[in-house]
Amino acid sequence: MRRHCRGVREFGNTVGGLRRVLGGSAPVLLALALAACLGKTTDTSAPLDILSPGTWTPLAPMPTARQEVAAAALEGRIFVIGGFGANAEAVATVEVYDPVTDRWEVRMPLPAPTHHLAAAVAGGRLFVAGGYSGRVRWTPLATVYEYDAARNSWAMRAPLTTPRGALALVALDGRLHAVGGSGDSATGAHEVYDPATDRWSEAPPMPTARDHLAAVAFQGRLWAMGGREAFLGSQYARVEIYDPATNGWYAGTPLPAARGGLAAAVLTDRVFAFGGEAPLRIFSATEMYETAGTRWIGKEPMRTPRHGAGAVAIGNRIYVVGGGTQPGLARTDANEAYTP
């Protein structure tokens, strides 16, 4: 466990971006300043896999340090989209990483700067949805864009029914499922997008309204993991699973620790969860869901503990890119790969 302190004065420069959620009251802002000074790095409370913990490899850093990004794999490359850049400013930046050459290149920016957005690929097409605009006052967005790789351009698609940021977007059976997030408050909204018709439809909402969650498609189902009510509100360890065959949700094995801002990815028959934050903590945890034992087990901790990162699986590795290295706002250019 390591302690981090950025100092109240330095943290004060980043507090403005959180006023929308926290109301900007003096007690809350003081609590945030204390979080920056008292924030500590913690690993996992899950049983540790001593025999095969896996390894982390540092790779070429992102050209632009940022957090609260969206990330997805398209044509064997990792797209890292939007997020917070310098001074907690929303960015439209799109940078693409090639795991074969360990190099980055810049692609066409989003039509508008956006943070806390989500991305997924369905039918070989890359989509981004939702997020927030603004720095001091965050405005939830319903915008949906599709990326045209051949033309290196973005096109607007049918918007979300529920404007929200800090949501999750998952491709399942050729459709996109947008779950959770927050507008004025955390929501359990669940909307399904059909790329063939460019239409959204409503689906059964998540049992737990939350934002800053992670979600993956695993074994033909949607897994929604962790998340929170608000920065200083309830943090969740809940795993809730949507089965399209029954059009309903059921409870899965909870995460070892309640937190928001985590990232997740799937490698073949395994689900992995990375990092995250709680008000006074930042997580270095790497955790794997063990299907046979229906439990989470701890793997090698992250080299760079963080939240608000993207996690993308390509081949036999998971790439974790960007994120914040302190509770609140503390962007990084880290690009590290985990090999089980």
Going by C-beta distance under 8 Å and a sequence separation of 6 or more, which residues neighbour residue 27? Answer: none
Confidence band, pLDDT 50/70/90 cuts, at residue 28: very low
d(CA 322, CA 115): 13
Going by C-beta distance under 8 Å and a sequence separation of 6 or more, which residues neighbour residue 6? Answer: 36, 37, 326, 330
Mean pLDDT of 212-233: 96
Report the Cα 80 to chain-centroid distance in Å: 11
d(CA 58, CA 158): 38
d(CA 328, CA 127): 27
Question: Which tokens go with 184?
Answer: 């004025």
Q: Work out the mean pLDDT of the chain and round it to a whole number.
A: 90
pLDDT of residue 145: 98
Confidence band, pLDDT 50/70/90 cuts, at residue 52: very high
pLDDT of residue 21: 39
The model carries a pTM of 0.89
The amino acid that residue 284 corresponds to is S
Encode pLDDT of 149-192 as tens digits.
999 999 999 999 999 999 999 999 999 999 999 999 999 999 99
Encode pLDDT of 244-292 as tens digits.
999 999 999 999 999 999 999 999 899 999 999 998 899 999 999 999 8
Least confident among 86-90, 95-99, 192-196 = 86-90
To which residue do tokens 């408050």 refer?
185
DSSP-derived 3-state class of residue 142: coil
Question: Which tokens go with 163?
Answer: 């404007």
Give me the percent of the chain exceeding a pLDDT of 70: 89
For 88, phi and psi rounded to 5 degrees? Answer: 60, 30
Find out whether 15 and 28 touch, Cβ atoms under 8 Å: no
Write down all domains in the chain, each with its CATH number in brackets: 43-339 (2.120.10.80)
Q: Which residues pair with 293 in a beta bridge?
A: none
d(CA 54, CA 172): 28
